[in-house]
Amino acid sequence: MAVVDTGYTSRRHLWRRVRIVAGVVLCALFLFPVFWMVLSSFKMPKDIFTTPPVLFFEPTLETYRSYMSRADITRRMLNTVIVAFGSGALSIVAGTMAGYALARVRLRGAGTIGVLILMSRGVPPIALAVPMFLVARKLGLTDKHITLILAYCTFLIPYVMWLMRAFFQSLPRELEEAAMLDGCGRFGAFFKIIVPISIPGILSTLIFSVILAWEELLFALVLTNRNASTIPVAIAGIAGDTVNGANWGALTAVGTLTVVPVVIFALAVQKWLITGLSEGATKG
Amino acid sequence: MSQVEIRNLRKAYDDLEVLHGIDVDIPDGAFVALVGPSGCGKSTLLRMIAGLEEVTSGKISIGDRVVNDIAPKDRDIAMVFQNYALYPHMTVRKNMGFALKQRGLPKAEIDRRVSEAAGILGLSALLERKPRALSGGQRQRVAMGRAIVRNPTVFLFDEPLSNLDAKLRVQMRSELKELHQRLSTTTIYVTHDQIEAMTLSDQVVVMNGGHIEQVGAPLELYDNPQTLFVAAFIGSPQMNFFEGEVTPEGRLKLAEGLELDPGRPLAGPGQQVTMGVRPEHLELAESGWPAEAVVIEPTGSETQITARLAGHTVRILLRGRTDIQPHDQIHLRANPALIHVFATETGRRI
């Protein structure tokens, strides 16, 4: 029997191709600046702004070498790791539990509390930075990791809470009820059943939280000085160097160093992000 | 095993009362079905027995213990949910053993009980699988297995078969009945399917709008429905209803030319009544009420005829087969001994 092309299938194929091309173009558009940054970080400073730009050149680690030794990059990188993962972990623990409470526990005014917490995200960070600095100074906590971690929690916890609340709402309530009939209390049901099946949601939220903390500049600029200073502060310092002018080579090298750990982290937890773990919990 | 006693139980969400004073006694070892249309409160009642919903007022006792304020985990009950609620990250073995592990039983004892329950339910070969690798029927069995390994005092089932296809549903229904006969554990079973309720249970509780309409053995409900609601709800195909009034001579006048001697004294003349007659109690006759056959549906063992009778659509169920064709004129007769008469206003049986 001959296959009749209905026009519908060919339109569908065409549409599929258009979408693939559009996806590739969009990805290229977003990734090009990153590509350019990484490429430039391996160029000699004089090659960065040549016209026309060169794609093929002799790569050098000169920029990395010269800048790394000067600007305390290693310590700042370590600070950024401590602060980003510290605040990420703390906000995941607090935000996940708060999100669960908002999603499941019948609390009078829970909705209002949730909206109020979300509204705190609407306050411009600059309005909080100065009061935070004053409080930190009063407590003798300036330029300390914990200060930055707590400051980041102020915007990360609401973020985690809202994402996880939506995630928990999508889980069948019967899972916890079954656990509660099987001998768990509310906490047991949460930790033994809900948390294990929410790992994909928790990890993807953790990645976003770590990235948000990783790239944060304002609080880091205001609340740290030397000891707890992070990479974004270093980048801002290089870009805003009014004495020597922006050192583009250093900027691209540090920029590349900033991106790499986050990408490695995201790739490392990628296999956990595959959703569908809860498939089979309820009707098929 | 334990009896369950429910006294004047009410449930309200803020100002909205959804259960209005429920009283039920569920004897030790009985299989009781709570049946009714969606929103009648049957699932809420079950969840209150489980401890998943708080009691607004009234009393629930399991055995000789009032359980109103006892946490679900301490009520010694097991529940099978409509969507099974299997733990997706655990194997069948761990799903079934979870409650026992929570209780701190030794591993050997857990393994023994899980294997035993798996044997009863035909799950022995599937113990190492995760729920997502199981079919709907197998998941259903695991959910039941998770309940029976615990050897609880009461089983609660919340529409456990409604996600299965028709064939599997019938199969699981008999398995459930067999399981109950074997274990004799007090069982409360919620369903909106009256056939399930009738075939499975010793006692049926018909609920409507947060009230109990009638409690009784399945055939008692079928033969003697106390309200119009029960008469309409129980039985498939549904009972035929005719509205009419009682004549001064004590006959039932259902329409012009449609009268019947009920054979027993009814309420006073002029009273508005609704007569119900089951499809299998309408007989074909040489003479009687004239009707026109509209649709003939043979199923092999019996034939259902839909006919038009004095403006009403009626269903007649005949044993065996018939050569009646659509649009044929037929005559119908109702045996007065098998009719049900209800006061139209109150819906209560007269």
Chain segment A268-283, per-residue pLDDT in tens = 877 666 553 444 444 3
Q: Which residues of A touch B103 (CB under 8 A)?
A: 183
Look up the CATH superfamily of B237-343.
Nucleic acid-binding proteins (2.40.50.140)
- Give residue-wise pLDDT tens across range A198-232: 988 898 889 889 989 998 999 998 998 888 888 88
Supply the pLDDT for residue B110.
94
Q: Which residues of A touch B (CB under 8 A)?
A: 172, 174-175, 177-185, 188, 193, 196-197, 277-284
Residues A180, B84: C-beta atoms closer than 8 Å: no
Q: Which residues of B touch A175 (CB under 8 A)?
A: 85, 87
Residues B73, A282: C-beta atoms closer than 8 Å: no
CA A176 to each of CA A276, B145, B282: distance values in angstroms, whole numbers, following the listed order: 18, 18, 51
CATH 2.40.50.140-classified regions of chain B: 237-343
Supply the pLDDT for residue A148.
93
CATH fold for domain B4-225: Rossmann fold (3.40.50)
B159: region left, alpha or beta (phi > 0 left; psi from -120 to 50 alpha): left
Q: Which residues contact B34 (CB under 8 A, 6 or more apart)?
A: B42, B45, B46, B188, B189, B190, B191, B205, B207
Residues A280, B132: C-beta atoms closer than 8 Å: yes
Supply the pLDDT for residue A281.
46
Q: Which residues contact B258 (CB under 8 A, 6 or more apart)?
A: B242, B244, B289, B309, B310
Report the C-alpha gap between B279 and B237 in whole angstroms. 7
Residues A184, B102: C-beta atoms closer than 8 Å: yes
Supply the pLDDT for residue A277.
43
Tell me, yes or no, if B39 comes closer than 8 A to chain A by beta carbon: no
- A–B: how many Cβ contacts below 8 A? 93
- The 10 Å CB-count burial string (b at 16+, else e) for B169-185 is beebbebbeebbeebeb
- Return the closest-CA partner of residue B187 out of B157, B164, B159, B161: B157
- What pLDDT band is residue B166 in, cutting at 50, 70 and 90? confident
- What pLDDT band is residue B188 in, cutting at 50, 70 and 90? very high
CATH 3.40.50.300-classified regions of chain B: 4-225
Residues B102, A183: C-beta atoms closer than 8 Å: yes
- Return the closest-CA partner of residue B92 out of B131, B40, B51: B131
Query: If you measure CA to CA, which chain B residue comes closest to A173?
Result: B85
- What pLDDT band is residue B136 in, cutting at 50, 70 and 90? confident
Tell me, yes or no, if B163 comes closer than 8 A to chain A by beta carbon: yes
Report the C-alpha gap between B29 and B11 in whole angstroms. 26
Residues B130, A280: C-beta atoms closer than 8 Å: yes
- How high is the mean pLDDT of chain A? 84
- What pLDDT band is residue B22 in, cutting at 50, 70 and 90? very high
Residues A277, B88: C-beta atoms closer than 8 Å: yes
